[in-house]
């Protein structure tokens, strides 16, 4: 018989153990091994069995055991220490508060929206890198004391769990989660204590309702909206059923709930806690972009602003991060679908969901070349005054990709910057490393994940023995998982004797684990199976390879790739040296990052926006062997791993794969394996350990999420908060001013003209550095000279007259003449060779983030 419904009933804790409650529900335990020890001590066997989940532990342990622990003075003393430590972690001023104490002007709060959050495997609310990154962002924000509020959805069954069929095909399961059994509490009305119920109007006079769960991630609350409640009709109940499941209609409802419901959840939360409203809103990818239209609605109905002023205020306070390097990866909806959800009950232009807004203006925010399409990334760029990609290379790819939104500008002037992703050290570094770091750096710095570079002070012998310990742990975990997988595939224990000989703790271990979209090229390693086999089976210097990854359930191509790897790994001669482990998730990933000597990544450049798994490996002294894509493009230095040469320009895909696979094999054979197996008199692989040491020292500080979050605070959140305050002050005077300016500039722009440009002062044969006096007459279509920037642009001239390596020289206003307004500049020839210049006019306003912001530019005709 199957249960119709399930509940989780929490145990009643003896009074003396009450502190276990908050210690189990604050997810800080997930990156705090001492707190984990406290729970493990309750019942080590059960702890293992439950996969290290404190809430389930307290649910399943016997009351007798708890009573016994309550009388154990040693245990309660340790409990008190852990509880005091958590309190201290939550209260003590940290980096953010110290900055504020020094007078640095920082936002009162930041709301961070993402469709997935991977905080811990006990809350499987993520599918891959994007979610894990969001989880790491919250944890690092907590460590640094950044007043962040996370906002997303709680999925009834999260992402699927993967297993294999006997013939190596991916099978998917969707275990359903019971929120009561998770480390969550409901957001309640402060007065009545009743759960807060959010409403979002749906077409046909329906209402989508959601309750709000709070996961406490250290100091940071994560608000997760849940539509699976009796008050909704069955279709709307299912809105939060699965992550990335369902069709476009299902997905837009999820995004409406996350964006619009999400803002309402933030308001309910700050009201209930008596907190200030967040000054900054951060969209982690475009999915939650509708948050901007809800905030426009608030300003129209609450503050009486017009649409354009509200848009200006919202833009000032919004940061948009794009994670997608290819147009095909961008989230798009049919414009009619957006219209369906946002227009009035009978198709009127006035929105029923967002009273005060007209649907045409909403559609306009997501406009792209094809008017039948609504583009969530374009909406993100139109709603966010500040935007960024997630590595330097990805920033530059994004500027190219979105150049069309800034016609007339070179790609490198497109106002999209970059903040390179990072990873949360206390989550991803093995305990062994954290303990060593605490010894050489000190506890405080480790909490904020600083001082990592000092790990190089550890002796080579200790570095190497730590690597060996971690590799041995991985080998045990690999055997455990291979056995479990074979049992699931229908084998019996009697046939699985060979599994205890799978992997060898002394053999060079290479890891490859990630989602399985085509561009990540899971099977590149199988390009030449004989060459791979020879490496695996080399009698003197063998390699062993652990592979894992999930394919999107709808992607049969991806599943076929997995099957190809599984079939190879099933072959009897190599099965002790190569494994495919099903169900890649955080709990498995950890062992891989800890134990692998080499982390392999071979995407099609430049399709990996950043990639973070290699960073996690590096934190543990793993060496990266990777195509120079994403983060590796900017951080590879020749000593911290190996760069697989990319055949970037080769358009024939088969040839490109052949070339890159060949280069990868060669690196392994010629460089990686010899270094690993070349042992000195002391038994250590000296050159290898030197690379490990260099990796920890050089990459350690750069790959940290605490570095990333500080970059966001300093480079994006603080400027956005300043812009937002100016927009809001004096009854939104700044927002109105920007909106009025923007309106006037857009109306005037067709009449803005560079009429004539003259130069003087140059000799017939100028040399580099020669003085150049420029005069330009421009017509401003009614704008004042102070409302524009006129610039001379000097640079190298290419065959098509295009300028490159440009130098921009501001021109100053020198009075009004018949020919137009005169602007002048004195400069010098910056380059030798074929050099040219032009003059251009841009809108300029002190409340804009830059002169390119409005995507308007006038250059001389012809
Ligand atoms: C880090 C991580 C990812 C993302 O890794 P990429 O390098 O971005 O592919 C995916 N899944 C899990 C479980 C992770 O820990």
What atom of ligand 1 comes closest to residue 584's alpha carbon? 13
What atom of ligand 1 comes closest to residue 513's alpha carbon? 9
If one residue of 511, 513, 587 were mutated to test the ligand 1 pocket, choosing by the most ligand atoms within 8 A of its CB, it would be 513
pLDDT band at 7 (very low <50, low <70, confident <90, very high): low
121-125, 297-301, 480-484, 571-575: least confident range: 121-125
4-8, 231-235, 672-676: least confident range: 4-8
CA pair distance 716, 110, nearest whole angstrom: 11
CA pair distance 348, 356, nearest whole angstrom: 12
pLDDT band at 280 (very low <50, low <70, confident <90, very high): very high
Ligand 1 centroid from CA 445, angstroms: 26
User: Does the Cβ of 583 fall within 6 Å of ligand 1?
Assistant: no
User: Does the Cβ of 608 fall within 6 Å of ligand 1?
Assistant: no
Q: Among positive and negative, which fits the CA dihedral 110, 114, 118, 123? A: positive
Cβ contact 302:130 at 8 Å: no
CA pair distance 569, 563, nearest whole angstrom: 10
Nearest residue by C-alpha to atom 8 in ligand 1: 611
CA pair distance 175, 497, nearest whole angstrom: 31
- What is the rounded (10 degree) CA torsion for 774, 780, 786, 787? -130
Q: What is the pLDDT of residues 111-123, one digit of tens each?
A: 999 999 999 999 9
**Confidence (pLDDT) at 557:** 93
CA pair distance 602, 600, nearest whole angstrom: 7
**Confidence (pLDDT) at 831:** 85
Nearest Cα to Cα of residue 515 among 53, 116, 48: 116
Ligand 1 centroid from CA 617, angstroms: 11
CA pair distance 152, 860, nearest whole angstrom: 48
Q: What is the pLDDT of residues 717-756, one digit of tens each?
A: 999 999 999 999 999 999 999 999 999 999 999 999 999 9
pLDDT band at 159 (very low <50, low <70, confident <90, very high): confident
**Confidence (pLDDT) at 521:** 93
Nearest residue by C-alpha to atom 5 in ligand 1: 613
Mean pLDDT of the chain: 95
The strand pairing partners of 284, in sequence order, are: 321
Helical spans, DSSP H, in 703-757: 705-712, 718-748
Ligand 1 centroid from CA 586, angstroms: 8
Question: Beta strands 771-779 and 753-760: pairing type?
Answer: antiparallel
**Confidence (pLDDT) at 256:** 98
User: Does the Cβ of 811 fall within 6 Å of ligand 1?
Assistant: no
User: Does the Cβ of 621 fall within 6 Å of ligand 1?
Assistant: no
Angle at 725 between CA 723 and CA 728, to 5 degrees: 110
Q: Is the pTM of this model over 0.95?
A: yes
Mean predicted confidence (pLDDT) in 679-683: 95
Nearest Cα to Cα of residue 180 among 5, 3, 7: 7
CA pair distance 782, 791, nearest whole angstrom: 19
CA pair distance 813, 823, nearest whole angstrom: 4
Q: What would the DSSP string read from start to end of 498-557?
A: GGGGSS-TTSEEEEEE----GGG-GGGGGSSHHHHHHHHT-SSS-EEEEEE----TT-HH
- What is the rounded (10 degree) CA torsion for 685, 688, 689, 691? 160
| DSSP E strands, 575-709 | 578-581, 598-601, 623-627, 641-644
Cβ contact 717:106 at 8 Å: yes
**Confidence (pLDDT) at 767:** 82
**Confidence (pLDDT) at 218:** 98
Ligand 1 centroid from CA 144, angstroms: 23
Burial of 800 (0-12, 13-18, 19+ CB in 10 A): exposed
Phi, psi (deg, nearest 5) at residue 59 = -75, -30
Ligand 1 centroid from CA 705, angstroms: 14
- List the domains of the chain with CATH numbers: 15-91 (no CATH), 110-421+716-727 (3.40.50.2000), 443-690 (3.40.50.2000), 752-843 (2.60.40)
If one residue of 123, 134, 425, 514 were mutated to test the ligand 1 pocket, choosing by the most ligand atoms within 8 A of its CB, it would be 514
Nearest residue by C-alpha to atom 11 in ligand 1: 128
Phi, psi (deg, nearest 5) at residue 824 = -130, 155
Angle at 185 between CA 184 and CA 190, to 5 degrees: 160
pLDDT band at 465 (very low <50, low <70, confident <90, very high): very high
Q: What is the pLDDT of residues 49-74, one digit of tens each?
A: 999 999 999 999 999 999 999 999 99
User: Does the Cβ of 585 fall within 6 Å of ligand 1?
Assistant: yes
């Amino acid at each position: 018989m199957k249960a119709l419904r399930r509940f989780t009933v929490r145990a009643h804790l003896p009074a003396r153990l009450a502190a276990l409650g908050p210690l189990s529900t604050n997810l800080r335990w997930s990156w705090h091994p001492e707190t984990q020890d406290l729970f493990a001590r309750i019942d080590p066997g059960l702890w293992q069995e439950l996969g290290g989940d404190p809430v389930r532990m307290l649910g399943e342990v016997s009351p007798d055991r708890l009573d016994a622990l309550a009388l154990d003075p040693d245990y309660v003393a340790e409990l008190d220490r852990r509880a005091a430590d958590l309190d201290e972690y939550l209260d003590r001023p940290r980096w953010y508060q110290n900055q504020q104490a020094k007078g640095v002007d920082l936002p009162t709060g930041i709301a961070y929206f993402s469709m997935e959050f991977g905080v811990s495997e006990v809350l499987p609310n993520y599918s891959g890198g994007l979610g894990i990154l969001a989880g790491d962002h919250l944890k690092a924000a907590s460590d640094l004391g950044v007043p962040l509020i996370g906002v997303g959805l709680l999925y009834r069954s999260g992402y699927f769990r993967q297993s294999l069929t006997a013939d190596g095909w991916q099978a998917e399961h969707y275990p359903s989660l019971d929120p009561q059994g998770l480390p969550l509490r409901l957001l309640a009305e402060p007065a009545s204590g009743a759960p807060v119920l959010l409403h979002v109007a749906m077409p046909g006079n329906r209402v989508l309702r959601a309750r709000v769960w709070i996961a406490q991630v250290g100091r940071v609350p994560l608000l997760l909206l849940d539509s699976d409640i009796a008050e909704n009709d069955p279709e709307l109940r299912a809105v939060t059923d699965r992550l990335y499941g369902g069709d476009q209609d299902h997905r837009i409802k999820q995004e409406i709930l996350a964006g619009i419901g999400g803002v309402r959840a933030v308001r309910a939360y700050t009201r209930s806690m008596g907190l200030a409203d967040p000054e900054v809103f951060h969209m982690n990818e475009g999915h939650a972009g509708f948050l901007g239209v809800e905030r426009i609605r608030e300003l129209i109905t609450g503050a009486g602003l017009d649409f354009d002023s509200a848009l200006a205020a919202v833009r000032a306070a919004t940061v948009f991060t794009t994670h997608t390097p290819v147009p095909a990866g961008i989230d798009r909806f049919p414009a009619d679908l957006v219209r369906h959800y946002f227009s009035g009950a009978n198709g009127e232009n006035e929105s029923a969901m967002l009273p005060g807004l007209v649907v045409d203006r909403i559609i306009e925010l997501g406009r792209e070349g094809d008017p039948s399409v609504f583009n969530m990334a374009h909406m993100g760029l139109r709603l966010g005054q500040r935007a960024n990609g997630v590595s330097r290379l990805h920033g530059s790819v994004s500027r190219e990709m979105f150049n069309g939104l800034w016609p007339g500008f070179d790609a490198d002037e497109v106002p999209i910057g970059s903040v390179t992703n990072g990873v949360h050290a206390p989550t991803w570094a093995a305990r062994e490393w954290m303990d060593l770091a605490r010894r050489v750096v000190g506890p405080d710095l480790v909490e904020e994940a600083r001082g990592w570079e000092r790990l190089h002070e550890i002796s080579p012998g200790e570095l190497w023995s730590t690597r060996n310990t971690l590799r041995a742990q991985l080998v045990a975990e690999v055997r455990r998982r291979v056995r479990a997988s074979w049992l699931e595939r229908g084998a019996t224990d009697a046939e699985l004797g060979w599994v205890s000989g799978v992997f060898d703790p002394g053999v060079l271990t290479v890891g490859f684990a990630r989602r399985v979209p085509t561009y990540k090229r899971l099977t590149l390693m199988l390009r030449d199976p004989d060459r791979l086999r020879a490496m695996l089976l080399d009698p003197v210097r063998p390699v062993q390879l652990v592979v894992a990854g999930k394919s999107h359930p709808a992607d049969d191509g991806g599943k076929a790739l997995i099957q190809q790897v599984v079939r190879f790994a099933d072959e009897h001669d190599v099965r002790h040296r190569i494994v495919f482990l099903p169900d890649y998730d955080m709990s498995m990933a950890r062992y891989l990052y800890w134990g692998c000597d080499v982390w392999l990544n071979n995407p099609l450049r430049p399709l990996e926006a950043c990639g973070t798994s290699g960073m996690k490996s590096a934190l543990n002294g793993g060496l990266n062997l990777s195509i120079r894509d994403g983060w590796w493009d900017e951080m590879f230095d020749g000593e911290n791993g190996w760069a697989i040469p990319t055949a970037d320009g080769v358009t024939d895909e088969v040839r490109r794969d052949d070339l890159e696979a060949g280069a990868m094999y060669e690196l392994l054979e010629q460089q990686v394996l010899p270094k690993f197996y070349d042992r000195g008199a002391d038994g250590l692989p000296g050159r290898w350990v030197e690379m490990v040491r260099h990796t920890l020292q050089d990459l350690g500080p750069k790959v940290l999420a605490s570095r990333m979050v500080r970059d966001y605070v300093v480079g994006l959140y603080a400027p956005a908060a300043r812009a937002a305050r100016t927009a809001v002050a004096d009854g939104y005077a700044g927002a109105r001013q920007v909106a009025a300016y923007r309106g006037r500039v857009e109306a005037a722009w067709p009449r803005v003209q560079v009429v004539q440009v003259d130069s003087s002062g140059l000799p017939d044969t100028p040399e580099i550095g020669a003085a150049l006096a420029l005069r330009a007459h421009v017509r401003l279509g009614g704008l004042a000279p102070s409302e524009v920037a006129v610039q001379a642009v000097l640079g190298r001239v290419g065959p098509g007259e295009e300028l490159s390596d440009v130098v921009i020289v501001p021109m100053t206003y020198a009075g009004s003449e018949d020919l137009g307004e005169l602007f002048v500049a004195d400069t010098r020839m910056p380059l030798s060779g074929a050099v040219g210049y032009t003059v251009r006019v841009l809108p300029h306003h002190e409340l804009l983030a830059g002169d390119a912001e409005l995507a308007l530019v006038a250059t001389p005709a012809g």
